[in-house]
Structure 1
């Protein structure tokens, strides 16, 4: 085990930066809301089977996490587990005081390489999860799942299978959605969408655009791509599909011949160049624009972003809310497509392969990703056992930590969250960052007027194929 990790550690540390734009966004998941310890625990089989036995020898588990106390309410959560399982104590090892996922993963890699006792660990994104599973860091959970009699793809909104096995259960559920300035919508006579397409999104953006020059209000703002990060914004019409949402296929070949990649480029060009309804890419890069400022300062009426923003949409000290906010689901490509499919960030909660208490560690992971998420009261759980009423209660708790929760259309927020579903996880390649950088550079040539869409697709595919071939040598 240690030998395998020693050989793979340098690769693992390098890959910590993959999907940096998305990974860093997890640092925004903190909430100042009160804990939801008073919530009634869901009456399901998951709750009764998840805990350890009340008797038996004392067991001490060590949980390694990037989650801060403010964002995860750890003390109350772990105390609740200990109260239910008095023979089990879970010691928290907090890897970053500020919740920095990249810093945390580097420290976690070093802890594993040095042979520290680790029983439960958390990964913040599919790349980190897949890469560390490949290095033998997480134990397969399939036997435990079979014994408990459930399937992860049915019990949770996020399917965590990798190469046919389950190595983690999903904790929180942060789907991407669209934040809307409802005052701007009312002014334009537009309803809050409950099910819409990218064509309709573009039409809304066009109608919401107002003014000219420095005071112009754009219909929307896309915060990427940037230096190979925030690549979600170049997959808009790919990542709302059940499968094939990445630039690489599961077998490692290029997916850039997917027509939805070209359609995404066409959408971005149309909105920026023809409709002039999205903030120019050149402005985003040259002025280093921040998506929060663009939305809260009313420079853009719509913002497609992850629901880590739940903790902020009611306004904060630094960015107060001065208008009404509503939420719409991630758009579809066609009216007949399945609704609610969207990129999702979650916590991948795993049992360490090196743990000497795998069964107790699994029992904690199962409890934490089910009943424990309700006890924690900080995020929407990925567990399907949580009712809509409970989601509404958790949202109330989260919004109570913002300055003006009364300005948020809670109904549209809850409906969007409970109807969202994650796309299939595709294990990223070790050279994923190279792929992202190449596609980003070709997009810049397109959006800055140096090549057309067909040439962009052709060049991007050629460069990605070359990267794939070089890494097979």
Structure 2
């Protein structure tokens, strides 16, 4: 059967009878051709994921296996794709490989029984997820997906401002040192003031990374809830983050005021690229933009530094990470073949795809450099980016243990956000903020136990 490219669910539904028939005839390898057809459900567009070349490489390496890409959103909209994925599952379509865009979506679909546990396949292959990949995808002690791309958070720096202040590009630093940099980089007064840094959150219960900066760089316990759903609000690093934010905004006056962010609806891209702030802490999805774009041009030199540590003795590299969770559908009739593709795609396949830095640990620094060279070539002024600092930062980065999101996580985030606002607007002190946050989060947990 020839591979067909299906742009959305409608086409996928029309094809389901034919494909399911093709799949069932091959379920025990008993068809005349011996072919196995796998269906891959994804939100990733051709432009962003280079599917045609990637799948062609796999099919060449695996004669007798065809992979059909079911694109759930032509514009790469993950919310639209999630809805269509659930509809396809409810319609009992043939599904073999599933891609989830975030930890919450991954955990939710696992709880619904959509993904097959991969531990037996991994044991047979003889590797350990935590050794082979930079992202730990375990949920409740089991592996249901392997990670594809690797988008850690990092710090973007205006290198011209660093040079002007006589500051080196950091390769290993703490939040205290980050605060010192921000203070030295702050310049001027009033409307034309240049701030050392800009924090794009929290806001409206979102961008909550900015209220747990000193929790996110730890191997465990990086969220307000623990893996068992109990509160993690007594983690001292929550209070330390509040202290850092207050110090930088109120005492040092080196970070853009929270009131400005909210009232002016500030955007992190323009804050950085317009040189209103010298540093921003953000995700490496910015790799495709840091060399400048038509919408947001680059007029200065950019360097990259790792997500800061809390204490000098801490291990460098732990940072928030986004990835693609690539799973085998529990309903697949070709689980071994689907797993074989998932393992290939999340290792060598990432290099073939050439669009993102892989979560695979075996990728060499020069291979990452080649991928980034290609990514930066798509920007307007790649020559203004310090490529060495970008590569070194991405190589050193790694994800902390995955905490499965609770169904009431949004409530928790909203409550903590509200308490933070009271603090930063001067309506309560840090100790009261910590106490109120702890009490409100516990109430939410208790209410959801009933």
Task: Tell me how far apart the structure 1 counterparts of residues 114 and 207 of structure 2 sit (CA, whole Å).
Answer: 27
What is aligned with 1:194? Answer: 171
Match of 1:181 in 2: 158
Residue pairs, 1:205-216, within 5 angstroms: 205-216=182-193
In structure 2, C-alpha distance between the alignment counterparts of 1:77 and 1:411, rounded to whole Å: 27
**Structure 1 residue 472 and structure 2 residue 445: aligned?**
no
CA deviation digits over 1:394-420, x for unaligned, max 9? Answer: 111111101100000000000000011
SS of the aligned residue for 1:446 comes to helix
Match of 1:252 in 2: 229
1:365 aligns with 2:346: no
User: TM-score normalized by structure 1?
Assistant: 0.88
Residue in structure 2 matched with residue 231 of structure 1 by the alignment? 208
State the alpha-carbon separation in 2 of the partners of residues 138 and 214 from structure 1: 53
**Which consecutive unaligned segments of at least 5 residues does structure 2 have?**
1-28
Q: In the alignment, what sits opposite 1:264?
A: 241
**Of 434-443 and 127-136, the range deviating more from structure 2:** 127-136
Output aligned runs, 1:358-437, within 5 Å: 358-437=335-414
1:86 Cα deviation after fit: 2.8
| Counterpart check, 1:59 vs 2:30 | no
For 1:142 and 1:121, locate their aligned partners in 2 and report how far apart those are by CA, in whole Å: 17
2:287 corresponds to which residue?
310
**How far did 1:56 drift?**
6.5
Q: What's the counterpart of residue 459 of structure 1?
A: 436
Q: Distance in 2 between matches of 1:202 and 1:412?
A: 20
- Supply the RMSD in Å over aligned alpha carbons: 1.2
Which region of structure 1 is more displaced relative to structure 2, 207-216 or 370-379?
207-216
User: After the TM superposition, which residues 117-128 of structure 1 pair with which residues of structure 2 at under 5 Å, given as runs?
Assistant: 117-128=94-105
Question: Structure 1, unaligned stretches of length 5 or more?
Answer: 1-51
Alignment deviations for residues 146-191 of structure 1 (CA, whole Å, 9 cap, x no partner): 1111111111111111111110000001110000000000000000
Does 2:425 align with 1:448?
A: yes
Question: What is the deviation of 1:292?
Answer: 0.6
The higher radius of gyration belongs to 2
Partners of 1:56 and 1:256 lie apart in 2 by: 58
2:107 aligns with one of 130, 137, 140? 130
1:70 deviates by 1.3
1:149 aligns to 2:126 (yes or no): yes
**Secondary structure at 1:390 match in 2:** helix
Count matched residues: 420
Q: What is the CA–CA distance in structure 2 between the aligned matches of 1:56 and 1:349, rounded to whole Å?
A: 28
Q: Secondary structure at the match of 2:324?
A: strand
Q: Which protein, 1 or 2, shows the higher relative CO under an 8 Å CA cutoff with sep ≥ 6?
A: 1
- What TM-score, normalized by structure 2, do the two folds share? 0.92
Q: Secondary structure at the match of 2:394?
A: helix
- 2:301 match: 324
CA deviations over 1:210-250 (Å, ceiling 9, x no partner)? 11111111100111111111111111000100001010011
CA distance in 2, matches of 1:252, 1:297: 42
1:334 aligns with 2:323: no
In the other structure, the counterpart of 1:23 is none
- Structure 1 segments of 4+ aligned residues over 4 angstroms from their partners: none
